[in-house]
């Protein structure tokens, strides 16, 4: 992902979270601005606090290094936030994953395919509590 596209999608996520009532900030240049690895976005609403690593793609799988994910989890744990990987594929909405729910490659990297995001990811409304998902096996008529 180019820096311009990365900046644009991070700003888009910040604006969406702000519109959903979250106090939100984008870490400038994330880990590049400091020796410490920082998540791309921090958001909280008094009940839920998230440290989010945001990635986007035109359709190819999204990869994160093991170091990126370890830094996200470390920061989130120390900050008191829930670590989330936020992915957005072109012409799709945002989908979110706990790092433990992502596929780990043999090389120790994390991968999210578009199909996986659409089928297994938590969508924006569910992340922000504006809707909830009912699984078919949980549905009682």
Q: Residues with catalytic annotation?
A: 30
Give the integer Cα–Cα distance in Å for 36 and 131.
Answer: 35
101 is in an annotated binding site: no
What pairing do the DSSP bridges indicate for beta strands 122-123 and 23-26?
unpaired
What pairing do the DSSP bridges indicate for beta strands 62-64 and 110-112?
antiparallel
37 is in an annotated binding site: no
Give the integer Cα–Cα distance in Å for 120 and 16.
Answer: 21
10 is in an annotated binding site: yes
100: helix, strand or coil: helix
- E-strand stretches of 16-93: 23-26, 41-44, 49-57, 62-64, 82-89
Residues in binding site for Mg(2+): 10, 40, 53
Residues in binding site: 10, 40, 53
């Amino acid at each position: 992902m180019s820096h311009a596209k990365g900046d644009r999608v991070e700003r888009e996520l910040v604006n969406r979270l702000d519109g959903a009532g979250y106090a939100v900030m984008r870490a400038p240049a994330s880990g590049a601005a400091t020796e410490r690895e920082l998540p791309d976005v921090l958001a909280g609403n008094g009940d839920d606090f998230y440290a989010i690593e945001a990635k986007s793609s035109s359709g190819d799988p999204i990869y994160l290094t093991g170091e990126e994910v370890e830094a996200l989890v470390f920061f989130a744990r120390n900050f008191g936030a829930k670590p989330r990987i936020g992915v957005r594929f072109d012409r799709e909405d945002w989908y979110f994953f706990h790092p433990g729910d992502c596929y780990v490659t043999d090389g120790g990297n994390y991968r999210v395919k578009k199909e996986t995001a659409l089928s297994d990811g938590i969508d924006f409304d569910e992340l922000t509590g504006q809707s909830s998902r009912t699984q078919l096996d949980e549905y009682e008529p």
